[in-house]
Amino acid sequence: MARVSVSQARRSQSRAAASESRSTAAGQSTNSKHVVPIFTDEAIKRVWQVIKQHNITVVDLKFNDLPGLWQHFSIPVEEVAQSAKEGIWVDGIGFDGSSIRGFQKIQESDMNLYPDPSTAVLDPVCEAPTLSMICDIFDPLTKEAYSRDPRYIAKKAEAYLKKTGIADTSYWGPEPEFFIFDDIRFDSTENSGYYFIDSIEGEWNSGRDEKPNLGYKPRFKEGYFPVPPHDALQDIRSVIMAKARAAGVPVEKHHHEVATAGQCEIDMRYSTLTKMADHLLTLKYVIKNVAHKYNKVATYMPKPLFGDNGSGMHTHQSLAKAGNNLFFDKNGYASISQMCKWYIGGLIKHAPSILAFAAPTTNSYKRLVPGYEAPVNLAYSARNRSAICRIPVYVNYPKSKRVEFRAPDPSCNPYISFAAMLMAGLDGIQNRIDPGDPVDENIYEMSSDKAPKQVPGSLEESLNALERDHEYLLKGNVFTKDVIEVWLEYKRQEIEKVRLRPHPYEFYLYFDV
């Protein structure tokens, strides 16, 4: 794909803008109008240090579509100029925005990518020595950042946080769960519809003739977390951890999860919002590719198995100012501050609309049902995993205090999902939203008249909630109306595609009517 050329006037304007801009840690500059970035020679020098260190021959440029899947294309290393005044650092790279989900219409398809030098790492899975860089998206005509670029939404959320004066940093620690299967087949045609999943770990294979069958199949809901040979995926996860850490992802631990048939979790040390979203997409990329090389397949689908736990992504979050955790108060309930309670109040109030982004598939709501550790209850508590907001109490020192929002799942786009949660929490602080009293008993065992309200039961309900309740997202121009409208339109199409097709179980229920 060819680079988009620019005029000398454009170059001059860009250099002039640099003097009015502030530098970021990446050595990249942006001004208040979010025009195309201005890179420093120091930032480009760091990129070339990685190139020389690893004898790079290919440069892979990655960016995010609206639903959350990484897209990419590759260029020869010779196309990467060594000066910030040349090549892709000034011109950007052109691509067809109309071919990317949730982006442009065909009559306005041309878009530009600008690599972020701070993300330059040796690609952890490619055989050819490949440099990986994450890109930001800009409009080639206005030279402004693209409103539907998920990474831009995340950056705007961080900027808005600072502008409020409430805090200067938000920290994020998602816990993405996933399955590694040995076989997956599915199809949906005019005259058929089915899926078939298999796993060497699947309890249903305890009687299969495997010549020999060596047993040790984790029983349903008993995968958390016996040692090998019950856990057949220990070595794969260790390879994933090593490759992810080599690519700069701060993996803290890995383990088997509750479900049979290869459910796993790999956790990362907390980081700032945009950086953590970068890490999460890198981690997902590594997991999928390492599984593929072992002739297995990884999926972040929230509920692939009937009758066992689905995959969530409990998301830990906190606010800090001048290095101090604003969520800590040694005298508060579970050592949380009043500000933290208001933040929780915002999360609980806006949870239905947050889930339009954080649990964004029809399949998500097959996970969000009582009985599978699913956090469907709009309440908060210390230790209680039946509440949507949990206050971890493993340790009790100031920097560790945080709230865990348990409803998201790993099918979400983390840039958008984290941004929506932050905006909801800030709205709670700004409006002093009271989350009520904590609930420290098993909510599933409470009588219906005392139990808290629950999250939406379908994607359609969450999208309707987003349509009604999104003003808090528009503050600071973090989310724009076109993002909300396109998201609603795109996701409602998915609902119709599922609704119109006969379900296999309907044949069991109704074929003999």
Q: Which of 116, 123, 201, 257 is catalytic?
A: 257
Contact 424, 350 (CB under 8 A): yes
Low-confidence ranges of the chain (pLDDT < 70): 1-33, 106-107, 371-372
Compute φ and ψ for 164, nearest 5 degrees: -65, -25
- Given this model, what pLDDT does residue 375 score? 85
At 105 the pLDDT is: 77
Residue 356 lies in a domain: yes
Number of other CB atoms surrounding residue 273 within 10 Å: 23
Active site residue 385: yes
Is residue 136 located within the same domain as residue 194?
no
Q: Which of 65, 149, 182, 265 is catalytic?
A: 265
Task: Judge whether 404 counts as a catalytic residue.
Answer: yes
Residue 250 class from Cβ within 10 Å (0-12 exposed, 13-18 middle, 19+ buried)?
Answer: middle
Same domain? For 204 and 257 the reply is yes
Active site residue 441: no
Calpha distance 62→114 (Å, rounded): 10
Clarify whether 96 is annotated catalytic. yes
**Residues 282 and 332 occupy one common structural domain:** yes
Side chain identity at residue 437, one-letter code: D
Is 296 inside any structural domain?
yes
Q: How many CB atoms lie within 10 A of CB 399?
A: 15
Classify residue 154: in a domain, yes or no.
Answer: no
Which of 182, 329, 404, 409 is flagged as catalytic?
A: 404
DSSP H or E stretch at residue 29: strand 28-30
The single residue of 116, 175, 201, 409 carrying the catalytic annotation is 175
219 shares a domain with 284: yes
The one catalytic residue among 11, 72, 255, 385: 385
Query: What pLDDT sits at residue 33?
Result: 56
Please state the three-class secondary structure of 5-27 as a single string. Answer: CCCHHHHHHHHHHHCCCEECCCC
Same domain, yes or no, for 92 and 183?
Answer: no
The 10 Å Cβ neighbour count of residue 105 is 8
409 located within any domain: yes
Is 20 a known active-site residue? no
What is the pLDDT at residue 393? 86
Among 145, 178, 198, residue at a domain's last position: 145
Contacts of 337 (CB under 8 A, 6+ apart): 326, 327, 328, 329
Residue 2 inside a domain? The answer is no
42 in a structural domain: yes
Instruction: Mark whether 319 and 458 lie in a shared domain.
Output: yes
> In this structure, are 131 and 174 located in the same domain?
no
**175 assigned to active site:** yes
Task: Please report, for the domain that includes residue 118, its CATH number.
Answer: 3.10.20.70
One domain, residues 97 and 195: no
Region at 309 (left for phi over 0; alpha for psi -120 to 50; beta for the rest): beta
Are the C-beta atoms of 252 and 155 separated by less than 8 Å? Answer: no
Do 319 and 395 belong to one domain?
yes
CATH number of residue 250's parent domain: 3.30.590.10
Interatomic CA distance for residues 487 and 351, integer angstroms: 17
Model-level pTM? Answer: 0.92
Question: Within this chain, do residues 183 and 88 fall inside the same structural domain, yes or no?
Answer: no
The total domain count for the chain is: 2
Q: 78 catalytic, yes or no?
A: no
Residues ≥6 apart with Cβ < 8 Å to 58: 74, 75, 76, 77, 126, 128, 129, 130, 131
Residue 163's identity, in one-letter code, is: K
Q: Which of 116, 139, 177, 308 is labelled catalytic?
A: 177
Retrieve residue 449's tokens: 């008249």
102: left (phi over 0), alpha (psi -120 to 50) or beta: left
**Rounded to whole angstroms, how far apart are CA atoms 341 and 466?**
23
Instruction: Give the domain range for residue 206.
Output: 169-501
User: What is the C-alpha separation between 163 and 87, in angstroms, rounded?
Assistant: 34
3-class secondary structure, 58: strand
In a domain, 509, yes or no: no
Instruction: Judge if 328 and 431 occupy the same domain.
Output: yes
Residue 420 Cα to chain centre, angstroms: 12
Q: Which of 406, 409, 427, 470 is catalytic?
A: 406
Q: In this structure, are 302 and 443 located in the same domain? A: yes
496 lies in some domain: yes
Strand partners, 62: 72, 134
List C-alpha distances in Å: 467 to 354, 413, 425, 470. 11, 19, 19, 7
* Rounded CA Rg of the chain: 24
